[in-house]
Structure 1
Amino acid sequence: MAKVAIVGCGAMGSVYAGLMASAGHEVHGITLWPDHVAAIRAKGLHVTGKSGDRTVALASVSTTTDGIGHCDLVIISTKAFDVLAAATAALPLVGPRTVIQTIQNGVGSPERAAQVLPVDQMVVGVVGGYGASVPEPGHAHHNGLEVTWFGKYGNVANDLFEGAADIWRGSGFDVKIHDDVKSMVWQKLIMNVAYSGTSCVTGLTIGQIIDNPHAWSVARACSEEAVAVSKAMGVVLGFDDPIAHVKNLGGKIPNAKPSMLLDSQAGRYGEIDAINGAISRLGAELNVPTPVNDVVVALVRAKESLL
């Protein structure tokens, strides 16, 4: 049994927490949603979807990391814009043999976490094809369980790295190890840019975007621009047809609403700057045109200006 802390126990974090607790690990959930905390404390964490239907008790759930102590694995699964604050809050959880894993959409999160956390204990996670949401406090639902990837950020000891991966494997996740972390992150990012901003602007699910020729033309162009930026950066994606990969993976979770759409519907700010906005920013730096991403970013920011 391992001691695990999920810093950012929202939709995705609750899926991780539920499956790991179900596998017998000591799981501590930290989330800034007090209603989610209250519901889990009262009735347990209910996880439904691709992995089945289960209700589990967590070792603790709170809005802070107080009193938890050192853990074997600390998973930082907050939004990209909250990573630095989460990493700082996670410091009391980190001992000399703790593995710290950042899992965010977009680019730049490990670099922010590394400002305060020990680099040689950090790994990067990429997940995709989950389509996770919180239908009500205390309940996380996920439409799929497709991609769970691991890579070293710093010079993490091999035994610690493999031990952290085994926590995920033993909890029902199909883990794949990547040596090229940059490629791993961009393989996910080209999918994020297709569906995230497009869904936020249109209100469509992933399947509806794929089936709607107007929406798909936007999603496809966003992804094609991301592929062009990745090539200019020297990133090796490893796909013969990156757009076919994006469409195939999205087609596995047609009913899913990307987190950016869920945030918009809940009246929260989303991760546009870390996803589509990152393509616009990097494209400008590399002289790679990104006109469709630029428009999507502007439209999402216009919506968020009303919050």
Structure 2
Amino acid sequence: MAVVVIVGCGAMGSVYAGLIADAGHEVHAVCRRAGHTAAVRDHGLRVTGHSGDRTVVLASAVLDSADVALHRPADLVVVATKAYDVAVAARSCAHLVGPGTVVQTIQNGLGSPEVAAAELDPGRIAVGVVGGFGASLPEPGVAHHNGMEMVRFGPYDGLPAAQLEASAEIWRSSGFPVALYTDLGRMVWEKLVMNAAFSGSTCLTGLTIGGVLDDPDAWALARACAAEAVAVAAASGVTLQVGDPIEHVRRLGGAIPHARPSMLLDALARHRCEVDAINGAVAREGARLGVPTPVNDTVARAIRARERTWL
């Protein structure tokens, strides 16, 4: 049994926590949503959807990492916060990390591992990307997910292969489809192309992923965002290995048509969005490399303007 701490137990983090705990591991959840945390602590965490329907009891559910009490250092710490909260989250969990702990950063977009590495030993960090989950929190204490397409990890800077494999085995034992990568650029950009396509387009239109695919104007927007991301990846020296990347995006999106990406969910809840790590990151990298990204830039500007009406 592994000791696992999920820092950032929102929709995706709750799916991780529920399935890992259901597999028999000791799971501690950190979540700043007081209502969700209280429901999990008092009634257990229910996970529904693609993986079935189960309610599990976690070892603890707290609002702050400082309140996590472990009998030994964690085997695995998963930083599953939004990209803009990674620095604070990484700093807050330093006391949970021992010589054998693997810290996995799992965020959308670009830049999170570098932020975490400024707060923690880079040799403890694994970079993670996941996709095809379509996770949400329909009510406090309940997480739902529409699929479970990919879970990928790679070493950030010197993490021993044996420790990376041991951390991956925790996920595999919990039913997640895990693949390990050494080419982090390819791993991250293959996911970012998908995020660029559907995050901004759903946020601006209010459509589900299936709705975007079915609407010619929305799909034209999503497709253009993806195509620009592919061009920036190529200019960065990244070789994507997904066949036709636009068809890859259509296939992955088509597998979870009812999903609403986290950027749309954040907008609906009037929370801060991760546009700067996704469409905004594509635009920034494009500007740095001399690759035009007018669609991603426009999408990012529109979402920032919309955010300013409620932030």
TM-score normalised by L of structure 2: 0.97
Q: How does 1:57-76 map to 2 (within 5 A)?
A: 57-65=57-65, 66-69=67-70, 70-76=73-79
Report how many aligned residue pairs link the two structures.
Answer: 307
Q: CA RMSD in A?
A: 0.8
CA contact (8 A) 2:279 2:299 kept: yes
In 1: Cα distance, 2:164 partner to 2:282 partner? 30
In 1: Cα distance, 2:162 partner to 2:236 partner? 32
Deviation at 1:111, TM superposition (A): 0.3
Q: How does 1:1-307 map to 2 (within 5 A)?
A: 1-65=1-65, 66-69=67-70, 70-307=73-310
In 1: Cα distance, 2:269 partner to 2:63 partner? 20
Runs of 5+ consecutive residues of structure 2 not aligned to the other structure: none
Deviation at 1:158, TM superposition (A): 2.3
Q: Which moved more, 1:62-71 or 1:180-189?
A: 62-71
Give the 3 Å change call, closer, same or farther, for CA 260–67 of structure 1 in structure 2.
closer
CA contact (8 A) 2:7 2:30 kept: yes
Q: Which moved more, 1:297-306 or 1:9-18?
A: 297-306
- Segments ≥4 residues shifted beyond 3 Å: none
Deviation at 1:287, TM superposition (A): 1.2
In 2: Cα distance, 1:202 partner to 1:125 partner? 28
Runs of 5+ consecutive residues of structure 1 not aligned to the other structure: none
CA contact (8 A) 2:62 2:68 kept: no
Secondary structure of the residue that 1:52 maps to in structure 2? Answer: coil
In 1: Cα distance, 2:140 partner to 2:10 partner? 10
- Look up the equivalent residue of 2:69 and give its one-letter code: I
- Look up the equivalent residue of 1:296 and give its one-letter code: V
- Look up the equivalent residue of 2:239 and give its one-letter code: V
Secondary structure of the residue that 1:273 maps to in structure 2? Answer: helix
In 2: Cα distance, 1:68 partner to 1:284 partner? 45
Deviation at 1:154, TM superposition (A): 1.7
- Look up the equivalent residue of 2:19 and give its one-letter code: L
Deviation at 1:177, TM superposition (A): 1.1
Deviation at 1:199, TM superposition (A): 0.5
In 1: Cα distance, 2:146 partner to 2:21 partner? 20
In 1: Cα distance, 2:28 partner to 2:68 partner? 11
In 1: Cα distance, 2:43 partner to 2:242 partner? 44
In 1: Cα distance, 2:268 partner to 2:61 partner? 26
The percentage of counterpart residues that share the same residue type is 58
Q: Which moved more, 1:129-138 or 1:233-242?
A: 233-242
